[in-house]
Chain A
Amino acid sequence: MPRRVAIVGVGHSRFGIRHDVSLAELAWESIKQALDDAGVDQKDIEYVVYANVGVWSSEPLPAVVINEYAGLTPRGTVRVEAACASGSAAIKLGHDIVASGQADVVLVVGVEKMNESPTPIVVELIGRAGNYFWEFQSFGLTFPGYYALYATAYMARYGATEEDLCKVAVKNHYYASMNPKAHFQRRITVEDCMRSRYIAWPLKLYDCSPISDGSAAVILASEEVARKLTDTPVWIKAIGYGSDTSNLSKREDFLSLRAAVEAARMAYRRAGIDPDNPVKYIDVAEVHDCFTIAEVLAYEDLGFARRGEGVKLVREEQTYVGGLIPVNLSGGLKAKGHPIAATGVSMAVELVRQLRQEVERGRQAPIRKGMALAHNVGGTGHYAYVTIYSLEP
């Protein structure tokens, strides 16, 4: 029988262009906060899971570099990779280690220092993530380009417009303006977004998440230990996961991310959530809006809206606080920033703080049901994790 697992401490660095810190210093910002928040010492940590995609940053073995810097040696450690979903994959591994009884306290850290390389190199490295030989070598797709293929198909099928997509950016910048940890602190208008230059048609600069540096950390504990450490443990209620083809050309259509649909179905079943009406169970969600279109697809893949109607939620502002379901009150990847492997852990930190009702004024969701959802996609729907966090085990 697997054991219950709770988050007992969280930490989060400021996201942005962090030329002021090294990779290890950046990770330490979150690790220190998480240790303080949980009230535990390094010696209490039994295992450390790092999420880091790296390649754009200089340290090839980030786990050992950070473990040394943060005083965590000789604890066992590993680095996991699931592209932009690495953070959630790391939480899943940490969860499984605790659930299986191998350890009582596990630290999970997501960290990324993307700005150690110049932007054109980062664009190249992310573009290569998919199927390098068949899709990048000769056709030079970029990350915005891959999602633009989804945007074009979605817009053609359902009549969504570039303005509709811009409204997602407006919402997420609005909430980021209240999040001191966010990469962008400035609100934008639909006009700002519409006037911004094309990156990969039909996606414009303001449709895209930035290239960010940042870190986030959570401390996971078994039920017995969690109850001793805190009065407000946040439980990992369920984890769902899925994957899809590396070649986009092998997908059935470009209207939904099958990996995310699969992950949501699994997470809902394990958490006892009705897949036909998940919003009835959830107070707040963080979804993977690496591009504005990705947030619209997420609404549908998660069952917040029917197929083709995700864009209606945007037009009716149903994902602001007070709407059907508040989404990305952190500012999302779009405006909080997207340090690739830190993102999934950042979602966990945000949702723990939402459930504890301790986020900044103006972006706190009303907590009535005690459940929150993280939807974290890796690559262009190559990997997906949906994690349900809960105040009740």
Chain B
Amino acid sequence: MAQDQRKAMEEMIKQVEQFVEEAKRSVGLPIVPDQRTGSALWYDQRELRVRYAISVERLRKFFEGLMEGKLLATRCRGCGTLYFPPQVDCPRCRRSDVEWVELSREGTLLTYTVIYVKPMSFAHYPDYAVGIARLPEGVNVTAWIRETDPRKLRVGMRVRIEIVRRQPENYLTYELVPVEEGEGRG
């Protein structure tokens, strides 16, 4: 199903491109009629590929934590405010002196959804569930949930946080995993 979504998109784009190439060969212009309305559409002859370089310099410790299998947050040494996602500047007391603290690995699911219609850059994944869990420290964590059947999820259920490698990109991230009934609080 998921692979289909990706394939269908690529198929559709290829088809349009073929049309456009044909139009250019025959009339010399990249103009094709819209399939539904017949309106003339100029097919952009310039493609823009966007990929950002995002600084995580001041969050290095967070990613080092993932490498060690830990989920880290920042705590302001001035006023004690806990930040997740982590941030190194405290807007409350305006200091930039934080300590990195490990978060507990079990929490409560506050809400969830399952994404069936995916963004282009996520079209290669099977349908995925996203949830927000509250940790005992009072911060919330947004992440994928390993269980993707909405009938098996419920608000208030216990979830564990695991550090996982996201495939096929093969990078470290974190995931929510429903805790089985009767399973000990690890």
- Which A residues contact B (CB, under 8 angstroms)? 17, 19-20, 58, 118, 120-121, 123-124, 127-128, 131, 133-136, 138-142, 144-145, 148-153, 156-157, 197-203, 247-250, 253-254
Residues A19 and B44 in contact in the complex (CB < 8 Å), given A124-B121, A138-B173, A140-B121:
no
From residue B144, how far is it (CB to closest CB) to chain A in Å? 6
Q: How large is the interface on B (under 10, 10 to 19, 20 to 34, 35 or more residues)?
A: 35 or more
From residue B13, how far is it (CB to closest CB) to chain A in Å? 7
Residues A254 and B36 in contact in the complex (CB < 8 Å), given A19-B41, A200-B117:
no
Among A17, A120, A135, A203, max chain B CB count under 10 A is at: A120
From residue B154, how far is it (CB to closest CB) to chain A in Å? 7
Q: Would you call B140 and A142 a contact (CB within 8 A)?
A: no
Q: Would you call A17 and B37 a contact (CB within 8 A)?
A: yes
- Rank and list the top 9 A-B pairs by shortest CB-CB distance, nearest first: A124-B119, A148-B113, A140-B122, A156-B155, A19-B39, A249-B140, A153-B111, A201-B114, A120-B120
Residues A201 and B142 in contact in the complex (CB < 8 Å), given A19-B34, A138-B173, A153-B110:
no
Instruction: List the B residue with the shortest CB-CB distance to A135.
Output: B142
Kindly list chain A residues whose C-beta atoms are within 8 Å of the C-beta of B84.
249
Residues A139 and B116 in contact in the complex (CB < 8 Å), given A19-B37, A149-B132:
no
Task: Verify if B112 is at the interface (C-beta below 8 Å from A).
Answer: yes
Q: Would you call A250 and B122 a contact (CB within 8 A)?
A: no
From residue A202, how far is it (CB to closest CB) to chain B in Å? 7
Q: Would you call B113 and A133 a contact (CB within 8 A)?
A: no
Task: Verify if B29 is at the interface (C-beta below 8 Å from A).
Answer: no
Q: Would you call A142 and B118 a contact (CB within 8 A)?
A: yes
- Which B residues contact A (CB, under 8 angstroms)? 9, 12-13, 34, 36-37, 39, 41, 44, 54, 84-85, 110-123, 125, 128, 130, 132, 139-144, 150, 154-156, 166, 173
Number of A-B contacts (CB under 8 A): 117
Instruction: List the A residue with the shortest CB-CB distance to B169.
Output: A138
Q: Would you call B39 and A249 a contact (CB within 8 A)?
A: no
7 extra A-B contacts, CB within 8 A, seeds A123-B119, A149-B111, A254-B110: A17-B37, A123-B118, A124-B122, A139-B130, A141-B142, A153-B110, A203-B113
From residue A127, how far is it (CB to closest CB) to chain B in Å? 5
Kindly list chain B residues whose C-beta atoms are within 8 Å of the C-beta of A150.
111
Q: Would you call A145 and B85 a contact (CB within 8 A)?
A: no
Residues A197 and B119 in contact in the complex (CB < 8 Å), given A58-B44, A149-B132, A247-B85:
no
Kindly list chain B residues whose C-beta atoms are within 8 Å of the C-beta of A202.
113, 150
Kindly list chain B residues whose C-beta atoms are within 8 Å of the C-beta of A248.
132, 142
From residue A205, how far is it (CB to closest CB) to chain B in Å? 9
Instruction: List the A residue with the shortest CB-CB distance to B129.
Output: A201
> What's the Cα separation between A152 and B150 when bound, in Å?
10
User: Could you list 25 A-B pairs, sorted by A, with CB under 8 Å?
Assistant: A19-B34, A19-B37, A19-B39, A19-B41, A20-B37, A20-B39, A58-B44, A118-B13, A120-B118, A121-B120, A124-B122, A134-B142, A139-B128, A139-B130, A139-B143, A141-B130, A145-B113, A145-B130, A153-B111, A156-B111, A202-B113, A248-B132, A249-B84, A249-B132, A249-B140
